[in-house]
Structure 1
Amino acid sequence: MNNGFEVLSPGLYTSLQDLGRFGFEDRGVPTSGAMDEMSFAIANALVGNDEDQGALEFTLTGATLRLTGNQPCCLAVSGDMALSIDEQPVAPYQRLTLQPGSTLRITRTLSGARGYLAVAGGFKVQPVMGSVSTLMRAGLGGFSGRPLQKGDWLPLNGAASAPLTTGSKPEQRLMPQRERRPVRVIAGPQDDHFTSAGMADFLGSEYRISEQSDRMGYRLTGHAVAHSKGFNIVSDAISRGSIQIPGNGQPIIAMNDRQTTGGYPKIATVIRADLARLGQAKPGDRLRFEIVSVEKAESLWAGRQALLKQWLNQVRRAAQ
């Protein structure tokens, strides 16, 4: 019998993701992919996978999975998650071995919004447009183009059954830290569509992530931002992190499953170095914004990538 996970409980929103589906935005297909690519890459490194191997992404609550087949499975969970194997609590950020018939229960996030489950060798799924990432609105990728459902069976690649480890100590230094500083942005590309008072309100106000937020975008509530040239523009490209201001003046941050074009002016764009942190934000969290230069944004991205590379190299050396 082939190895796989039987889904006993799917959690709130559990989907298969990788680092994204690139090269199709001109045809209306967003990149999708892991909302927190740092935690995603760390989970894969812990089990010896390439950092872009498909893994399960959990939102607020996790799934309960039973291993079928006759071979053990090496896995790792990243993110600040509460989890257990056969009702015995275990810690995230370590390599774990799940035996056939055993149950992995990932109950909820303790902080942040998302966690990741990687298995050695990955899941046996056919890529769509070069990616296994799930885009639910289009029914693309993942397992039947949708989040997990109770009764699903998730096949594992053969390499996933290899007993790569007998256990490891949790990598506590990789645990996400709750940062209180503002989300850093670059102004524009349509910052000239707002009054000076509107820009000051945007940068000086605190916003709350509303319940009407998901992988497509975060709707914020707070001080309305005033337009100077109306709230409609000729539709143009929307990137991950674009902050649109519709007619009601309440910002919307475009996220991984966003539409690829839109007709609201964009007051600012979240810098790439802060997108993983933003991916861990949840409804009720409060945000402030701070403008930085393009040069500063590039420097911050280079520093973040250097730190991630250092972490991944340390994790892989420990796994040898």
Structure 2
Amino acid sequence: MIEVISTGGLATIQDLGRRGALKWGVGTSGAMDDLAVAAGNILLGNPDDAAAIEVQIFPFRIRFQDDTTFAVTGADCDGMLDDLPVLPWCVHRASAGQVLHLGLPRRDGWAAGRAYLCVAGGVDVPSVLGSRSTQLRGEFGGLEGRALRAGDKVATGPFHEAGARVGFNPPALAMPLMVDGLPAVRVLRAAEYEAYTPQAQASLWNEPWRISPQSDRYGFRLEGTPLMPKVPLELRSHGIVPGVIQVPHGGQPIVQMRDAQPSGGYPKIGTVIEADLWRLGQTPIGSRIRFVEVTWDEAVAAQDANDRWLAEARRLVGLFRARRGGQ
């Protein structure tokens, strides 16, 4: 059991997402940084899709009600367990009554948007449509379909010993992607790309885009040179998925994120590839990003690289545990 002592708001329970429900008009939800959740679960010996707590406004403090092991992945936010420092991307042991404090993320690296508290056994809330992820707009999943607040008590799965101090290099360092000193994400052209002026197309690829304070889990609103079509575009509402870059009439693009609605009518100029959604999810509000155009084959190769990173993490953690078991 975990007790929430204080939170800056919008901390939610998330797993790897709600798949297969788009046909009912239900979005995927899930962690903005799916690699961080999967990696934390690998560290703890959980299933990859066990639920964790996603923290995006700091500081965040919880009290462990029972002995457990845990890992904090995603952003490095100067974690403290009572008065002891907590290394990110590493397994730690907590005793009943100890308090975990997550402070402001370090900004010396760009992966500073969200931290994830993963615990042995996972966060134990009911599964809704195949996922424990919180869907804020629909008010279901997670804990009563809402963000966590002070005083909440959240159950965790059965305790199991996950070893101690094992950890690994986070993907932001293992697989960096920068352009002109700015974090970058890879993008495929979308259906209405050719409807935009050459100047708009050039701006999409060659200029930085600032993530607006009006951004959230539903969509990242970007600020930059307006992207204007050759002629005004009017489309019927149609299906969309996380990653789609829509362009409203004002020309400032919106990237649909994990809580994206399943349909929309704005024209689509591009799509952030699925393999890079975690990069975008870890980019702090107010910072700037760059888009890199890729082909379909390059997008598939990027997902293969993510899968290899997870497979290697799983292999190394397995080797560490096997060695400890043999001592």
* TM-score with structure 1 setting the length: 0.92
CA shift in 2, pair 1:203/1:164, >3 Å? closer
Q: CA offsets per residue over residues 208-241 of structure 1, 9 Å max, x none?
A: 0000001100000010011123242111111111
Moved more, 13-22 or 56-65: 56-65
Aligned position for 2:178: 180
Q: Does 2:79 align with 1:83?
A: yes
1:131-280 correspondence to structure 2 within 5 Å: 131-157=131-157, 159-160=158-159, 162-165=160-163, 167-171=164-168, 173-174=169-170, 176-177=172-173, 179-181=177-179, 182-280=184-282
Q: Give the conservation status (yes or no) of the 8 Å contact 1:134–1:145.
A: yes
Aligned position for 1:27: 24
Q: Give the conservation status (yes or no) of the 8 Å contact 1:48–1:316.
A: no
Q: CA offsets per residue over residues 68-119 of structure 1, 9 Å max, x none?
A: 2xx4111111122211111222211211111111111112321410111111
Distance in 1 between residues matched to 2:247 and 2:297, nearest whole Å:
25
Aligned position for 1:127: 127
Q: Does 2:39 align with 1:42?
A: yes
Q: Give the conservation status (yes or no) of the 8 Å contact 2:59–2:101.
A: yes
Unaligned runs of 5+ in 1: none
* TM-score with structure 2 setting the length: 0.90
Aligned position for 1:309: 311
Q: CA deviation at 1:294?
A: 0.8
Distance in 2 between residues matched to 1:228 and 1:87, nearest whole Å:
60
- Between the aligned residues of both structures, percent identity stands at 36
Moved over 4 A (4+): none
Q: Secondary structure at the match of 1:302?
A: helix
Q: CA offsets per residue over residues 170-228 of structure 1, 9 Å max, x none?
A: 43x22633642332111112112212222122222211000000110000001001112
One-letter amino acid matched to 1:303: A
Distance in 2 between residues matched to 1:220 and 1:124, nearest whole Å:
35
CA shift in 2, pair 1:130/1:62, >3 Å? farther
Aligned position for 2:48: 51
Distance in 2 between residues matched to 1:62 and 1:141, nearest whole Å:
24
Distance in 1 between residues matched to 2:272 and 2:249, nearest whole Å:
21
Distance in 1 between residues matched to 2:198 and 2:55, nearest whole Å:
40
Q: Does 2:10 align with 1:10?
A: no
Distance in 2 between residues matched to 1:215 and 1:117, nearest whole Å:
18
Aligned position for 1:286: 288
Q: CA deviation at 1:304?
A: 2.2
Q: Give the conservation status (yes or no) of the 8 Å contact 2:243–2:273.
A: yes
Paired residues in the alignment total: 311
Q: Secondary structure at the match of 1:96?
A: strand
Distance in 1 between residues matched to 2:187 and 2:162, nearest whole Å:
42
Q: CA offsets per residue over residues 93-150 of structure 1, 9 Å max, x none?
A: 2111111111111123214101111111112211111100001111110011111100
CA RMSD of superposed structures (Å): 1.6
Distance in 2 between residues matched to 1:12 and 1:32, nearest whole Å:
18
Distance in 1 between residues matched to 2:310 and 2:152, nearest whole Å:
33
CA shift in 2, pair 1:314/1:169, >3 Å? closer
Q: Secondary structure at the match of 1:176?
A: helix
Q: CA offsets per residue over residues 8-61 of structure 1, 9 Å max, x none?
A: 112332111011011111222110001111111111111110110011111142
Q: CA deviation at 1:271?
A: 1.3
One-letter amino acid matched to 1:55: A
